[in-house]
């Protein structure tokens, strides 16, 4: 056994880089390539992997420290002999090169700078195009490895005349990115970096950690406390879990340190600002050896590149540019999450250190977008999520294809269904109705119905039961006003039913179902279904529904999520009946059960009301005497 000192590897031209996360602790057993710490510059965040496998005996860095190539990170106990020579890191040479000013405008080849040991790195974003004016330090492209994402800044100011790389390319140090035409005073070698010496002053304080902004919720239950007194926590570690009737949420730590006191416990009720616990922090407060800021480091807008500008005040918050965060900084893990969620990071408000986008920022962005959809604040198109465009795929390159044009009905239905699904917050409830007696009664009336020239289907009873239930629960027979300020309750009961036709989905409507009996409803269903099959349904036949039934029992399935037919606020889905054993208090007996799926608009109907409606609907179907009461 021997002790191996793990040091910061080659990280390019960067020096005095912030440690923003320590992913291991003393005593941990690590494997080769396990992530040890995360570093962050003003251009990139990167993980430092372990070059060896073993047990950590000592940590020499903490969150907030500044490190450079060769800085010791930790000591690891490994098997075998220690090769001290291999552990010695060569220090980068500092050379001062005077910029050579060009006598006239010239074309500068901009290449990938030193990016450490990485090779064949993916280009995930190209931030400029031909004709753009760029200032020195403007971001040109973004690269991503399995450990880090990094932006490549422009070493010169000028006009982009040719872009050589594109998204999806793989590049290495020295790969040509693009060409920039510079002015007469431009420097062909303007990458000289000047570093200010930094000294660290250790500070220690106890931070009160409170419940952050949790929206409109108040007196929220604490269902879990994830830490104990004496625990070491990192920034963003989960401290407690809160639960409302709508969601559960974790409260992350805003600081790194040691938990010295826990104020809340499981079962407590907390609100925004409630004290959760206290954390003792210990970090470094860097001080510049020179009080003069380096003006060359300040980024200036592209349109001001030709004239010098005063540096922005140090107090400016990067979070103020949440609407157009075009230079979004995020770790590879966050970028991966954004790709999964189809979130445009340039639209996300950053709340992390130094303007970094966190995973929570992505989740909050989605939550806010959905809230806008639910409140009707988005555009009429219903697209309020700022999602990425649909991918353009050449399917023919994978095999033989056939393009079939959609019918007019298909196109109309698709647009309506998409609007309804996006703009209405659906909640679906499921239950089984005992229709044993109903089916026996329906079968007994088969000969009677044939004499009348009609067919009594289960749908006739479903429609009548809906009319009865809607009268008892008028909120289900309503619509939300366009401005979302009022509920329009209808005093008529028109029941639509989904009909699958060769031309596509149609919804004819049975008018005044509350005033009709089973025979009359059956006649209406036969007439409207016939019109639908023959393509003879008129606009009046499909207008005025207050509630819809979608029955797919003949096709099978046990449950599904029917989409509400806007501006209605609920829809009943009906699946295939099945004989099941039901306990009657003494024994199991076979009963014919009908699966029901009720989707409701959660803006209008809450869970309790929906459950009551569905239970009552099942009661009506189970006992036909309820219809005449």
> What is the pLDDT, as a whole number, of residue 586?
94
Q: Dump pLDDT digits (tens) for 56-65.
A: 999 999 988 9
152, 182, 212: which is the final residue of a domain? 182
Is residue 88's pLDDT more than 90? no
Which DSSP string do the residues of 277-304 spell out, in sequence order? EEEEEEEEEEEESSSS--GGG----GGG
pLDDT band at residue 377 using 50, 70 and 90 as cut-offs: low
Q: Which of 91-95, 259-263, 414-418, 565-569 has the lowest mean pLDDT?
A: 91-95
Residue 306 burial (10 A CB sphere; 0-12, 13-18, 19+): exposed
What CATH number is attached to the domain comprising 562?
Answer: 3.30.559.10
Same domain, yes or no: 364 and 384: yes
Domain match, 440 and 560 both: yes
Q: What is the mean pLDDT of residues 31-55?
A: 83
Both 54 and 128 in one domain: the answer is no
With a CB cutoff of 8 Å and minimum separation 6, the contacts of 99 are 187, 188, 189, 190, 192
Q: Which of 366, 282, 248 is nearest to 240 (CA)?
A: 248
If asked whether residues 157 and 126 sit together in one domain, one would say: yes
Answer whether 568's CB lies under 8 Å from 497's CB: no
614-617 contacts: CB < 8 A, separation 24 or more?
Answer: 614/429, 614/431, 615/431, 616/469, 616/472, 616/473, 617/433, 617/465, 617/466, 617/469, 617/572
Alpha helices in 376-407 (DSSP H): none
Higher pLDDT, 289 or 127: 127
Identify whether 190 is part of a domain: no
Model confidence at 603: pLDDT above 50: yes
CATH number at residue 339: 4.10.320.10
DSSP-derived 3-state class of residue 203 = strand
Strand, coil or helix: 86? helix
- Based on the fold, state whether residues 420 and 394 are members of the same structural domain: no
How much is the average pLDDT of 362-383?
A: 66
Contacting residues for 412 by C-beta, under 8 A, at least 6 apart? none
- 89 within a domain of the structure (yes/no): no
pLDDT tens digits along 96-128: 333 333 334 688 889 988 877 778 888 888 888
Cα separation, 185 vs 207, whole angstroms: 51
Stretch among 226-240, 289-303, 547-561 having the lowest mean pLDDT: 289-303
Lowest mean pLDDT among 150-159, 260-269, 362-371: 362-371
Cα–Cα nearest to 25, from 53, 51, 61 = 61
Residue 291 lies in a domain: no
| 216 exposure class (CB count in 10 Å sphere: 0-12, 13-18, 19+) | exposed
Report helix angle 518-534 to 458-472, nearest 10. 110
Q: Are residues 129 and 258 in the same domain?
A: no
CA atoms of 326 and 426, how far apart (whole Å): 34
Is the domain of 436 the same as that of 543? Answer: yes
Nearby residues of 456 by Cβ (< 8 Å), 6 or more positions away: 442, 445, 446, 449, 518, 519, 522
- 602 is known as an active-site residue: yes
Q: What is the mean pLDDT of residues 29-43?
A: 82
Provide DSSP, 249-264: EEEE-SS-EEEEEE--
* pLDDT of 46 over the 90 cut: no
Helix (H) or strand (E) holding 110: strand 106-111
Residue in 360, 361, 363 with CA at minimum distance from that of residue 341: 363
pLDDT single digits (tens) 393-410: 999 999 999 999 988 778
What's the pLDDT score for residue 353? 65
The mean-pLDDT minimum among 78-82, 87-91, 490-494, 548-552 falls in 87-91
- The least confident of 215-224, 395-404, 615-624 is 215-224
Domain end call among 233, 261, 281: 281
Lowest mean pLDDT among 164-178, 245-259, 262-276, 493-507: 245-259
For residue 499, how many other CB atoms are within 10 A of its CB? Answer: 20
Triad 79, 85, 88: Cα angle to 5°:
105
553 with 603, same domain? yes
505 class by beta-carbon count within 10 Å (0-12 exposed, 13-18 middle, 19+ buried) = middle
- Chain centroid, CA 555 distance in Å: 35
306 part of a folded domain: no
Count of all residues that appear for the chain in the document: 629
Residue 162 falls inside a structural domain: yes
Three-state SS sequence of 502-558: CCEEECCEECCHHHCCHHHHHHHHHHHHHHHHHCCCCCHHHCCCCEEEEECHHHCCC
| Mean pLDDT for the stretch of residues 437-459 | 93
What Cα–Cα distance (Å) separates residue 182 from each residue in 105, 134, 308, 489? 5, 10, 16, 69
Mean pLDDT, range 47-57, rounded to an integer: 88
Per-residue pLDDT at 367 exceeds 50: yes
Whether 162 and 69 map to the same domain: the answer is: no
Q: Are 181 and 167 in contact (CB under 8 A)?
A: no
The pLDDT of residue 385: 59
Q: Pick the residue with more confidence: 116 or 358?
A: 358
The whole-number pLDDT of residue 311 equals: 35
* CATH number where 266 lies: 2.40.50.100
What is the pLDDT of the chain when averaged over all its residues? Answer: 80
Percent of the chain with pLDDT over 70: 79
Is the per-residue pLDDT at 33 higher than 80?
yes
pTM: 0.44
Are residue 71 and residue 131 in the same domain, yes or no?
no
Residue whose token pair is 């559960």 = 248
Residue 457 covered by a domain: yes
How far apart (Å, rounded) are the C-alpha atoms in residues 478 and 490? 6
**pLDDT on residue 135:** 87
DSSP per-residue letters across 423-445: HS-EEEEEEEEE-HHHHHHHHHT
The token duo for 213 is: 């902004």
292 pLDDT band (50/70/90 cuts)? very low
Kindly state whether residue 405 falls inside one of the protein's structural domains: no
The per-residue pLDDT for 611 is 97
CB–CB of 209/255 below 8 Å? Answer: yes
> Among 42-51, 75-84, 129-138, 572-581, which range has the highest average pLDDT?
572-581
Q: Which residue segment(s) compose the domain that 256 sits in?
A: 204-281
Same domain, 218 and 355: no
Q: What is the pLDDT of residue 190?
A: 40
- Which residue among 329, 418, 426, 602 is the active-site one? 602
Of 167-176, 350-359, 557-566, 595-604, the one with minimum mean pLDDT is 350-359
| Residue among 59, 66, 54, 73 at smallest CA distance from 19 | 66
pLDDT of res. 622: 96
- Containing 451, the helix (H) or strand (E) segment is helix 446-452
Most confident of 121-125, 155-159, 209-213, 462-466: 462-466
Tell me what pLDDT residue 544 has: 95
**Mean local confidence (pLDDT), 286-293:** 38
Domain count, the chain: 5
Average pLDDT over residues 123-137: 87
What is the C-alpha separation between 111 and 128, in angstroms, rounded?
15
Read off the pLDDT of each residue in 367-371 and give the average, rounded to a whole number: 77
Q: Which of 79-93, 198-212, 343-357 has the lowest mean pLDDT?
A: 79-93
Give residues with Cβ within 8 angstroms of 145, minimum separation 6. Answer: 118, 121, 122, 332
pLDDT, tens digit, 9 for 90 and up, residues 477-528 = 999 998 889 999 999 999 999 988 877 788 999 999 999 999 999 999 999 9
What confidence tier does 627 reach under pLDDT thresholds 50, 70, 90?
confident
Query: Which of residues 119, 150, 182 is at a domain's end?
Result: 182
Question: 273 — alpha (psi -120 to 50), left (phi > 0) or beta?
Answer: left
**Mean pLDDT in residue range 346-375:** 78
Q: Is residue 366 part of a domain?
A: yes
Do the beta carbons of residue 569 and residue 478 sit within 8 Å?
yes
CB atoms within 10 A of CB 169: 17
Q: Do residues 509 and 436 share a domain?
A: yes
All residues at 6 or more sequence positions from 506 whose CB lies less than 8 Å from its CB, including other chains: 409, 498, 499, 532, 537, 542
Q: What is the pLDDT of residue 91?
A: 40
43 DSSP assignment: S
- The widest CA-to-CA distance across the chain, in whole angstroms, is 105
CB-based contacts of 426, cutoff 8 Å, min separation 6: 561, 563, 564, 599, 600, 601, 602
């Amino acid at each position: 056994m021997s002790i191996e000192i793990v040091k910061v590897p080659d990280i390019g031209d960067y020096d005095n880089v912030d440690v923003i996360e320590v992913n291991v602790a003393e005593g941990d057993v690590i494997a080769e390539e396990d992530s040890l710490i995360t570093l962050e510059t003003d251009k990139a965040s990167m993980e430092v992997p372990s070059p060896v496998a073993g047990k950590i005996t000592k940590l020499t860095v903490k969150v907030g420290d500044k490190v450079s190539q060769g800085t010791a990170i930790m000591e690891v106990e490994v098997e075998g002999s220690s090769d001290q020579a291999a552990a010695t890191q060569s220090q980068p040479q500092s050379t001062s090169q005077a910029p050579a000013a060009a006598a006239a405008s010239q074309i500068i080849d901009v290449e990938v700078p030193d990016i450490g040991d990485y090779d064949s790195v993916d280009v995930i974003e190209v931030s400029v195009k031909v004709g753009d004016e760029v200032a020195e330090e403007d971001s040109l492209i973004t690269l991503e490895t399995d450990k880090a994402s990094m932006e490549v800044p422009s070493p010169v100011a000028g006009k982009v005349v040719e872009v050589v790389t594109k998204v999806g390319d793989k590049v290495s140090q020295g790969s040509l990115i693009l060409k920039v035409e510079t002015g007469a005073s431009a420097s062909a070698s303007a990458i000289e970096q000047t570093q200010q010496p930094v000294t660290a002053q250790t500070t220690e304080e106890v931070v009160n950690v409170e419940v952050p902004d949790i929206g409109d919720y108040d007196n929220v239950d604490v269902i879990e406390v994830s830490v104990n007194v004496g625990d070491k926590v990192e920034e963003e570690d989960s401290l407690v879990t809160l639960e409302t009737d709508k969601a559960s949420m974790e409260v992350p730590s805003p600081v790194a340190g040691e938990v010295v006191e826990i104020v809340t416990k499981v079962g407590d009720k907390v609100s925004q600002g409630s004290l959760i616990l206290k954390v003792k922090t210990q970090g470094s407060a860097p001080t510049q050896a020179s009080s003069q800021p380096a003006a060359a480091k300040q980024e200036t807008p592209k349109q001001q590149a030709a004239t010098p500008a005063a540096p922005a005040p140090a107090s400016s918050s990067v979070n103020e540019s949440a609407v157009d965060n075009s230079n979004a900084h995020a770790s590879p893990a966050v970028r991966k999450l954004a790709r999964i969620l189809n979130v445009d990071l340039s639209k996300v408000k950053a709340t992390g250190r130094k303007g970094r986008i966190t995973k929570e920022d992505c989740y909050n962005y989605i939550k806010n977008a959905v809230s806008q959809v639910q409140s009707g604040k988005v555009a009429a198109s219903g697209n309020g999520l700022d999602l990425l465009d649909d991918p353009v795929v050449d399917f023919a390159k994978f095999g033989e294809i056939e393009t079939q044009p959609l019918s007019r009905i298909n196109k109309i239905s698709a647009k309506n269904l998409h609007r309804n699904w996006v703009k209405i917050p659906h909640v679906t409830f499921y239950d089984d109705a005992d229709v044993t007696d109903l089916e026996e009664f329906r079968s007994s009336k088969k000969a009677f119905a044939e004499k009348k020239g009609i067919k009594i289907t289960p749908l006739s009873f479903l429609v009548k039961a809906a009319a009865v239930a809607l009268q008892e629960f008028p909120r289900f027979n309503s619509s939300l006003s366009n401005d979302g300020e009022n509920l329009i309750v209808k005093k008529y009961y028109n029941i639509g039913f989904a009909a699958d036709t060769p031309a596509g989905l149609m919804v004819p409507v049975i008018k005044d179902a509350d005033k009709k009996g089973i025979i009359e409803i059956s006649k209406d269903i036969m007439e409207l279904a016939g019109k639908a099959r023959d393509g003879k349904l008129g606009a009046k036949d499909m207008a005025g529904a207050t509630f819809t039934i979608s029955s797919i029992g003949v096709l099978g399935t046990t449950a599904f999520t029917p989409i509400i037919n806007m501006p209605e606020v609920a829809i009943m889905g009906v699946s295939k009946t099945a004989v099941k054993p039901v306990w009657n208090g003494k024994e199991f007996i076979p009963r014919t059960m009908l699966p029901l799926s009720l989707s409701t608009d959660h803006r209008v109907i809450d869970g309790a009301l929906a459950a009551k409606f569905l239970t009552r609907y099942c009661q009506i179907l189970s006992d036909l005497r309820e219809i005449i009461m």
